[in-house]
Amino acid sequence: MGLFDFFKKSPAPKQPAQTIPAGPYRDNSTNFLYNLLFCDNLDLYKANAQLPSYPFDILFSESSSPADLQKIIDDATADPRIKVLAYNKQLALGQTPAKKELLAVIVEVGLDGGLDVLASFNNGTARYINQTGKVLIWETTEDTTANGLTNELFARSAQIIDQIGPWDKPRKPHPAGGNARISFLVSDGLYFGEAPVDTLFNDPLARAALQSATKLMQYLTHKSLEKSPNP
C-alpha cells in the first residue's frame, strides 16, 4: 500500500464474518478495521499475522513473560498498535508499566449519516473512517505538516490524561448519534471522555485536543484528495 488509500473499502478480513465484533458500519470489513483501532482484542490480530514471526511470536505465545513483552515495548521500530497490545498483555499478567506512554488518540463523532472516526498514532500514522464507512489509511511518517499536527494533538491529549484516570471496564460500544468520544490508548489502559457533540467540543479540558484532531483530519483528507481526486 502507498502513502495513503483515500476512501476505499478496507480489505476483507480473513476470519469468518461471524467472528467479527459488531460495529457501527454496514460492511464487515469496515467494522473489523474499526475494532482493530482500539488494540484490545488480540484475536483480531491473529487473523492476519504472519506466524511465527516477531513480534507476533511473543504476543501470541501463552508463555510470554512481562520481560518478553517489554522487548516489544522498548523496540523503537515497533508499530504503536503492537506496543498497545504488548502493554495490555503485561497488564493482564499483573505487570505495572515502567512508564506512562500515550500511543494513540481516537476521536469518534456520531453524525446523522453514521460514525466518523479518526485514529492518530504516535508515530504519525493514522486511520480515518468516514460516516459512510469509507476508509482513509495514512501510513507515511515523513510528512512534516502531518507530524506537526500529530505532535500537537498528542501534547494536548497528554494534558487530559494527566487529569483523568483509566477506564477499568470493557470498552463501551461506539457512541450513539449526537454524541462524541475521545479515547486515549495509554500504557496503563484506556482513557476516554464522552458527551453530546457540542458539549464535548466546548469542554475546557477536551476542546484543544479535539480542535487539533479536526485539523489533522482535514489535512489528511485534503492531501489524500490531492493524490486521488476521483476516489
Kindly give the residue spans of alpha helices, DSSP state H, lying in the chain.
28-36, 42-46, 56-59, 66-73, 80-92, 144-161, 197-201, 207-227
- Taking the C-alpha atoms of residue 113 and residue 225, their distance in angstroms, rounded to an integer, is 21
Q: What percent of the chain has pLDDT over 90?
A: 81
Q: For residue 2, what pLDDT band results from cuts at 50, 70 and 90?
A: very low
In single-letter form, the type of residue at position 225 comes to L
Residue 9 has pLDDT above 50, yes or no: no
Residue in the block written with cell 448519534: 177
pLDDT tens string 166-186: 999 999 999 999 999 999 999
- Taking the C-alpha atoms of residue 219 and residue 222, their distance in angstroms, rounded to an integer, is 5
Query: Would you tell me how many other CB atoms lie within 10 Å of the CB of residue 215?
Result: 15
What is the pLDDT averaged over residues 27-36? 94
Before 204, cis peptide (omega within 30)? no
Name which of 20-29, 84-93, 207-216 the model is least confident about: 20-29
pLDDT tens string 51-88: 668 999 999 999 999 999 999 999 999 999 999 999 99
The predicted structure's pLDDT at residue 8? 35
